[in-house]
Amino acid sequence: AEQPWRAAAYPPSDWNPAAGSRRLGYGPADARQEAGLEVARVWGFRGEGRGNLVATRAGLVYPVGRMCVVLGGSGGQRVLLEHAGPVAALALHPGGTLVATGDEAAGAGVVVWDAESLRIVMRLAGLHGTGVARLAFSPDGARLLSAGRGIEPMIALWDWARGCLSAVAMVGAAVLDLAWRYDSSCWATAGPRHLRFWYLEDGSLHSEAGCFAGRGSLQIHVALSWAESGLVSGNQDGSLYLWREQAVTSRARAAHRGPVIALQVVHAAEADGRPSEWLLSGGVDGAARCWKVDNDGLQQASPRRLPAL
């Protein structure tokens, strides 16, 4: 990964890799320990990419370089320094406290940690040779998915609480997003000219390509979110597809001007108490839109219609 700050960092004028700095009194071992420095405050935020901000019970969690910052309600910060490379993927456990993070370092592993105490709960051994691109806990919290970076990454299914790898498979295309079905029975991955549905059977991962059924086209599928009414994909051409039984059943053709890069399904209750599902979408056009999701498909709605969550 690029580290532009290195261009402005210089060693002491008398620095010798074997001997350190006599003028400053640092040997090479002392220098590697960073002279006992501790992080007091972190400014900045990794703004590129997606899924790089989660709201935990302890506060907001986000990456800055290889640090994970927990920002409390009063503005106080706590910092986790457990990664060898820039943190590129975050996932929040359904319990609201545990966070999984992965970085861009070669042979990157995944760290599951408690945002309240900064305690490391589990380390998942390095598997992704070019770093971790996406992470997602299953809705029941029992399993964790990790997808590697690159054009032909691996996807891994973890029994994270035991630190065990359940299964692994090659995807064959870059993974831009992944999403679990609401009942934790299967999941989907999306990326350049790929949208596949995955499931575990007899200890192995199997997948099937989505069927467009004349209602859509294979393109760069950027974002995913799974509602009880079906899977929703946000696409490069600004459209939204609603998938049921691995096939497109309806679409919103011009949901955004340009790629749809963020999707989130939310559940609410109507005024009469009936449950309802809503989709929030965001695009590179800078617009955020609200959609009602039901058996009739996707209907755009004013955010003012969104019931209290």
Higher pLDDT, 181 or 109: 181
Q: What distance in Å separates the CA atoms of residue 222 and residue 11, rounded to the nearest whole number?
A: 43
Q: Cα dist. 195→11, 205, 233 in Å?
A: 49, 15, 9
Mean pLDDT is lowest, of 13-17, 147-151, 190-194, 262-266, for 13-17
235 pLDDT higher than 90? yes
User: Which residues fall within 8 angstroms of residue 154, CB to CB, at 6 or more apart?
Assistant: 127, 128, 147, 148, 168, 169, 170, 171
Q: What are phi and psi of 43, to 5 degrees?
A: -110, 140
Q: Taking the chain, what is the end-to-end CA distance rounded to the nearest angstrom?
A: 39
Q: What are phi and psi of 290, to 5 degrees?
A: -120, 140
Q: What distance in Å separates the CA atoms of residue 271 and residue 41, rounded to the nearest whole number?
A: 45
Closest by alpha carbon to 66, among 155, 142, 131, 147? Answer: 131
- List, for residues 50-100, the tens digit of each pLDDT value: 788 999 999 999 999 999 999 987 779 999 999 988 999 999 999 999 999
Please state, rounded to an integer, the average pLDDT across all residues of the chain: 89
Regarding beta strands 77-80 and 67-71, do their DSSP bridges make them parallel or antiparallel, or are they unpaired? antiparallel
Q: What distance in Å separates the CA atoms of residue 144 and residue 146, rounded to the nearest whole number?
A: 7
Q: What distance in Å separates the CA atoms of residue 28 and residue 17, rounded to the nearest whole number?
A: 6
Q: Cα dist. 166→42, 65, 156, 157, 241 in Å?
A: 36, 30, 8, 5, 31
275 pLDDT higher than 50? yes
Q: For position 56, what pLDDT does the model report?
A: 95
Q: For position 212, what pLDDT does the model report?
A: 95
142 pLDDT higher than 90? yes
Mean pLDDT is lowest, of 35-49, 148-162, 163-177, for 35-49
Average pLDDT over residues 192-202: 96
Confidence band of 247 (pLDDT split at 50, 70, 90): very high
